[in-house]
Structure 1
Amino acid sequence: MAADGSTTDGHREAGPGGRRGKSALFVIACGWAGLMPHWLEPGLRLWPATGMALLLGGYSLYTVLVPALDRGRPGDREGSPSPGPKPQDPGPDGVDVVVAARDEQAVIARLVERIGMLRPTAGDLRLWVVDDGSSDRTPEVLQELRGRFPFLQVLRREADAGGGKSGALNMALPHLRARWMLVLDADADLQPDTLERLLPRAEALGWSAVQMRKAVANPLTNWLTRAQAMEMALDAVIQEGRLEQGGVVELRGNGQLLRRDALLAAGGFNEATVTDDLDLSFRLLLQEQPIGIVWDPPVREEAVLSLAALWRQRQRWAEGGLQRFFDYAPGLLSERVSGRRKLDLLCFFLLQYAMPMVAMADLVGALVTLTAPTIWPLSFVAFGLSGCSILLGCRRSSEGPVFPRMTPWNLALGIAYLGHWFLVIPWTSVRMALFPKRLVWAKTLHLGEAGCEDAAVEESAIA
């Protein structure tokens, strides 16, 4: 993000009014699409949803199933890189690991110890922790850790410094020297061989950024963490399919490996968004910088343990996801994005953001007109695709925490759980249309191993 508020794509960032106007237009368009079929002749009411179901369902199944079948063919080795450019040595400057931490006393020591176990492919390993105005014992813990781990560097920001997580990450950028930087959350956990596997693959395939598969570290704590573990598997399956079919891969914040020169060319991290990862994904796309995803090795992270925490987290994800489409629409529609990728973005925008809004309007229309809902063919396809992706992901061999067993109950739980997006997206969209933009780092609370174990004991006692 340039200092004058313009994006690297040449378009000035929309102010609060512009964002509210675009959000209102999105809400009105989706509302009309959901209400309109109820005033058609009975024989025509299902046609719009059926047509969209065939288009989006066909494309989505092609994206998910074809790559999955290819990976299952004899001779296809899991995780083996395809032929690509000659690998470039990461260089003697090593790797910079960067973490933005606020009130992370429960997990920060474990993170530093895990980073100390990593085996870099060349050069030094440096860990930069940006203490972003912590009010707990995080500063004291970091001070003690510095005496034990020479690779640890600590930067301090005031609590009111602004810019959220993006501001904290940008503070570290001038200090970095390595070709690659690995961005982690404070609760991240990596395998010791992560860097020696990840860096050569990124270099060989010419990627500018790589997203590691996110694996839930506490999948068996309660029903909600089981559902989130299935959701992460689903997401990785779809992302891999989009990559292999020439679509768009999105960064997920934790476990993202970035080539520093590509990041700087894109303007660093955008301090005017609540989801730095999703925003950066589009800016790298517009800079024609390729993003990859790897199934293994994964990055482990804690799942949230309560519905209230899930609601707060998903509102932030939904807001950032919609905002990037509003902010970068001119660039996404330009010639810099291929027709293949435009189709990919359109299909997943309609499935991820438009369909929940249309479904809510359809429900309102059904209640007002006393007619049957009309969007169900499209919803059926979306939930069917989700179930297929969960099965493919959770039955696939993988490193890291185990996936929930694919019993009928767990599969039904995973599919039903995804219904929360049909509440989150409409609520967030309407809020964005009505209220000014507020940049608040609503961080996820991390409890550490002890906290998760206590929650698991509490859950079993209740059961």
Structure 2
Amino acid sequence: MVEGRATEQPDDQRPVTGGHRRLKASLFLLGCCAAGLAPHWLEPGRSLVPSIVLAVLLGGYSIRTVLLDPPTIAAPPEATDDSGVATEADLPSDLPAVDVVVAARDEQAVIRRLVERIANLRYPAGRLLLWVIDDGSEDRTPELLEELQGREPALRVLRRSREAGGGKSGALNLVLPQLQGRWLLVLDADADLQEDVLERLIPWAEAGGWSAVQLRKAVANPDTNLLTRAQSMEMAFDAVIQQGRLCAGGVAELRGNGQLLRRDAVLTCGGFNEATVTDDLDLSMRLLLERQPIGVLWDPPVQEEAVLTLPALWRQRQRWAEGGLQRFLDYAPGLLSDRLSGSQKTDLFSFFVLQYMMPVMAAADLAGVIATGTPPAMWPFSIVALGLSGIAIVSGCRRPSEGPPLPRMSVASVTLGVLYLVHWFAVIPWVTLRMALLPKRLVWVKTLHHGAEEEPQTVEADPELATEGGAL
């Protein structure tokens, strides 16, 4: 193993670090609260007008996004030998070099399985390397990696201290200067890929002129309980929305696991931002501002484990919400500039209102109901948004798909999926309030991966006890 540290970036290439965070979050919170409370002081006949207008305008845009059919993507013909068995020797000779990159901390339950899965990918010999950054693991991960290096020639291992800082971004920045491939595929340690993923993904990315491509995320354990089943529906819902936004002239975003990145595009953006808790969402914004397009591929998917308990989900979604809102606060000047097209700005504005403003406005509306005794005013907007979410869930789960079977659609399934999405109406207001009141404290909390353990733990690391700099 090689000890290392992240290289210093030039000042003009360093990503935004989020100045005046509390002020920006406070202004956002006050604006949303004012918008949610104001209808309670209107005449009874007019109190629903703002919500109805939002429901019509943004609902119309959203239904168009949900119902747009993505372009059909045909899988390339499979290379086979005379017996009809797929072979590596007959793969196209012009496929570029690829580096698979994984930041791993305390991943003894899944790291062996991951290395074996990458070794089984079909790709021309000598053009695929697997880089694992051991991010200060304190379990058996280092021992397992050392053992695997002895029999997997394509495996490269870097090690950094647990106190190195920067979270997953810091780990990725450590390996970035050493990569030589045209593309890097960033995976989580629990990722599962089909053997033909690279031979299908790379030509599609090259032909489409994409600077990055996000594979559809599929839940590997959807039948564990109702929570994992709901997360499986959520991932299909998300991929439908992402593809629809692209088809409508909008933008797509990276999702961390299963993101293919062109190395020169990442370097143009200054590497990975170590001042954010969601490296994927932050990089999505910087690629957008650098006019580096991001595509979304439905099949083949990348599989990952869903969290198993509500406390684990709550902690995970707080991090996602904080990083998601922070990127808009950080990059707002660029997003409003002429670096984006009109359709991209419309898409981002609609998404921002639906994902971040609406839950805070709904919470303020509820406070207005309690304070004034007047009826709720935001319900038309909220009902339309949740209804469209149900349509997107049905659309996604009924699409032909590879990987684990998506949940079968029924009234009960759709109801579960929609009720599950209501958790964002609690997460977003709480995180916004916390960002407005408390100073920024970067804490990267990894999601536990259980693998095939007979008795997996079901508790994630406590954010208050987590060490800064841990991999996501």
TM-score (normalizing by structure 1):
0.91
| Distance in 1 (alpha carbons) for counterparts of 2:50 and 2:233 | 31
Given that 2:98 and 2:182 are in contact with CA atoms closer than 8 Å, whether structure 1 keeps it comes out as: yes
Which residue pairs with 2:391 in the alignment?
388
Q: Is residue 151 of structure 2 the alignment partner of residue 136 of structure 1?
A: no
Given that 1:234 and 1:386 are in contact with CA atoms closer than 8 Å, whether structure 2 keeps it comes out as: yes
Which residue pairs with 1:160 in the alignment?
163
Which residue pairs with 2:466 in the alignment?
none
Q: What is the one-letter code of the residue matched to 1:13?
A: T
Given that 1:234 and 1:389 are in contact with CA atoms closer than 8 Å, whether structure 2 keeps it comes out as: yes
Q: Is residue 243 of structure 2 the alignment partner of residue 240 of structure 1?
A: yes
For residues 73-118 of structure 1, give each alpha carbon's deviation from its aligned partner in whole angstroms, at most 9, with x where no partner exists. Answer: xxxx45469xxxxxxx996762100000001000000000000010
Secondary structure of the corresponding residue to residue 441 of structure 2:
coil
Q: How many residues align?
A: 437
Given that 1:7 and 1:13 are in contact with CA atoms closer than 8 Å, whether structure 2 keeps it comes out as: no
Residue number among 334, 345, 349 corresponding to 2:337 in the alignment:
334
Secondary structure of the corresponding residue to residue 250 of structure 1:
coil
Which residue pairs with 2:232 in the alignment?
229
Given that 2:278 and 2:320 are in contact with CA atoms closer than 8 Å, whether structure 1 keeps it comes out as: yes
Which residue pairs with 2:89 in the alignment?
none
Q: Report deviation, 1:408.
A: 1.3
For residues 397-432 of structure 1, give each alpha carbon's deviation from its aligned partner in whole angstroms, at most 9, with x where no partner exists. Answer: 100001111121111000000000000000000000
Given that 1:79 and 1:296 are in contact with CA atoms closer than 8 Å, whether structure 2 keeps it comes out as: no
| Distance in 1 (alpha carbons) for counterparts of 2:454 and 2:104 | 18
Which residue pairs with 2:150 in the alignment?
147
Given that 2:450 and 2:456 are in contact with CA atoms closer than 8 Å, whether structure 1 keeps it comes out as: no
| Distance in 1 (alpha carbons) for counterparts of 2:320 and 2:336 | 23
Q: Is residue 24 of structure 2 the alignment partner of residue 14 of structure 1?
A: no
Q: Are residues 193 and 92 of structure 1, via their aligned partners in 2, closer, same or farther at CA, if it must alter by over 3 Å?
A: closer
Identical columns (%) = 66
| Distance in 2 (alpha carbons) for counterparts of 1:185 and 1:92 | 24
Which residue pairs with 1:30 in the alignment?
32
Q: Report deviation, 1:3.
A: 3.9
Given that 1:295 and 1:398 are in contact with CA atoms closer than 8 Å, whether structure 2 keeps it comes out as: yes
Secondary structure of the corresponding residue to residue 452 of structure 2:
helix
Q: What is the one-letter code of the residue matched to 2:18?
A: A
Q: Report deviation, 1:303.
A: 0.0
Secondary structure of the corresponding residue to residue 192 of structure 2:
coil
Q: Are residues 332 and 374 of structure 1, via their aligned partners in 2, closer, same or farther at CA, if it must alter by over 3 Å?
A: same
More helix by share: 1
Q: Are residues 122 and 152 of structure 1, via their aligned partners in 2, closer, same or farther at CA, if it must alter by over 3 Å?
A: closer
Secondary structure of the corresponding residue to residue 224 of structure 2:
coil
Which has the larger displacement, 437-446 or 298-307?
A: 437-446
Q: What is the one-letter code of the residue matched to 2:409?
A: M
Q: Are residues 452 and 60 of structure 1, via their aligned partners in 2, closer, same or farther at CA, if it must alter by over 3 Å?
A: farther
Q: Report deviation, 1:2.
A: 8.0
For residues 337-372 of structure 1, give each alpha carbon's deviation from its aligned partner in whole angstroms, at most 9, with x where no partner exists. Answer: 011100000000000000000000000000110111
Q: Are residues 418 and 103 of structure 1, via their aligned partners in 2, closer, same or farther at CA, if it must alter by over 3 Å?
A: same
Q: Which runs of 5+ in 1 are unaligned?
A: 72-76, 82-88, 456-463
| Distance in 2 (alpha carbons) for counterparts of 1:5 and 1:33 | 39
Q: What is the one-letter code of the residue matched to 2:54?
A: M
Secondary structure of the corresponding residue to residue 422 of structure 2:
helix
| Distance in 2 (alpha carbons) for counterparts of 1:347 and 1:266 | 25
Which residue pairs with 2:320 in the alignment?
317
| Distance in 2 (alpha carbons) for counterparts of 1:262 and 1:46 | 46
Secondary structure of the corresponding residue to residue 183 of structure 1:
strand
| Distance in 1 (alpha carbons) for counterparts of 2:295 and 2:339 | 19
Residue number among 166, 175, 179 corresponding to 1:176 in the alignment:
179
Which residue pairs with 1:66 in the alignment?
68
Q: Report deviation, 1:246.
A: 1.1
Q: What is the one-letter code of the residue matched to 2:386?
A: F
Q: Is residue 228 of structure 2 the alignment partner of residue 249 of structure 1?
A: no
Supply the RMSD in Å over aligned alpha carbons: 1.9
| Distance in 2 (alpha carbons) for counterparts of 1:54 and 1:7 | 41
Secondary structure of the corresponding residue to residue 69 of structure 2:
helix
Which residue pairs with 1:259 in the alignment?
262
Q: What is the one-letter code of the residue matched to 2:159?
A: R
Residue number among 341, 346, 349 corresponding to 2:349 in the alignment:
346
Given that 2:110 and 2:450 are in contact with CA atoms closer than 8 Å, whether structure 1 keeps it comes out as: yes
Q: What is the one-letter code of the residue matched to 1:45?
A: S
Given that 2:450 and 2:457 are in contact with CA atoms closer than 8 Å, whether structure 1 keeps it comes out as: no
Which residue pairs with 2:463 in the alignment?
none
Q: Is residue 411 of structure 2 the alignment partner of residue 405 of structure 1?
A: no
Given that 1:146 and 1:152 are in contact with CA atoms closer than 8 Å, whether structure 2 keeps it comes out as: yes
Which residue pairs with 2:188 in the alignment?
185
Residue number among 39, 42, 55 corresponding to 1:40 in the alignment:
42
Given that 1:96 and 1:178 are in contact with CA atoms closer than 8 Å, whether structure 2 keeps it comes out as: yes
Which has the larger displacement, 196-205 or 441-450?
A: 441-450
Q: What is the one-letter code of the residue matched to 1:25?
A: L
Which residue pairs with 1:210 in the alignment?
213
TM-score (normalizing by structure 2):
0.89
Q: What is the one-letter code of the residue matched to 1:373?
A: P
Q: Report deviation, 1:333.
A: 0.4
Q: Report deviation, 1:13.
A: 3.4
Given that 1:94 and 1:120 are in contact with CA atoms closer than 8 Å, whether structure 2 keeps it comes out as: no
Q: Report deviation, 1:216.
A: 0.1
Secondary structure of the corresponding residue to residue 45 of structure 2:
helix
Which residue pairs with 2:444 in the alignment?
441
Q: Is residue 115 of structure 2 the alignment partner of residue 115 of structure 1?
A: no
Which residue pairs with 2:276 in the alignment?
273
